[in-house]
Amino acid sequence: MGTAKSLRFAVDGAGEVSALLVRLADAKWMLALAHGAGAGMRHAFMEALAEELSRAGVATLRYQFPYMEQQRRVPDTPGVATATVAAAVRAARDAAPDLPLFAGGKSFGGRMTSTAAAEGELEGVRGLVFFGFPLHPPKRPGTKRAQHLERVNQPMLFLQGTRDELADLSLLRPICNKLGSLATLHVIDGADHSFHVLKKSGKTDAGVLRELAETTATWATAH
């Protein structure tokens, strides 16, 4: 994989944040990629995901939310988070103006991306990719977090594991069905919210990462 290039961009009312650009010469798409609530853009999962996406032709701009940049534990307010997503999308567009632009993220990062899209802040983004959409807190099934998805106009790819405690598939499937042609649900058997699989599943974590990346690239081809 190519070396990640360090960047910084400004977020309205929240200062500057760091970002990492990974792009190979044969990249076909650009993805603004947000981290989850508990770990930043340099987390091992984010590093490995960016590498696999790169191999599949998807360049990435990984970035920090302000609270992570400032080493605070409590995530930013939705207003600050969506402003960060919007700024990251602009930075990704500037970094690769020649590539079709997508946006998404892991868990919290994906949900803040869809929230920004629902508010009309992601102009020019062709689609959204959710690496484990956090539909509800663990052991507290509900659908309130998905209500804003009805206001999203871009195609959405949901990548979900069957052992994900933050997304009961019996609740998520009807939501995707209701969204119609805008939603694509790809289920990974045996994976949890971190896309970890047990040995008895016959799969490996590395294989799951490859599946996430290749599924993203195949889906992006259609959009």
Angle at the Cα of 176 from the Cα atoms of 162 and 128, rounded to 5 degrees: 90
Domains assigned to the chain: 5-221 (3.40.50.1820)
| Distance spanning both ends of the chain, measured CA to CA | 25
- CA 31, 36, 38 angle in degrees (round to 5)? 155
Pairing mode of beta strands 5-11, 15-22: antiparallel
Q: Which residues of the chain have pLDDT under 70?
A: 1-2
- What is the structure's pLDDT at 204? 96
| Amino acid occupying residue 176 | C
* 3-state SS string for 136-156: CCCCCCCCHHHHHHHHCCCCE
What residue ranges in the chain does DSSP mark as E strands?
5-11, 15-22, 29-34, 58-63, 101-106, 128-131, 156-161, 183-188
Q: Write the pLDDT tens digit of every residue in 146-201.
A: 999 999 999 999 999 999 999 999 999 999 999 999 999 999 999 999 999 998 88
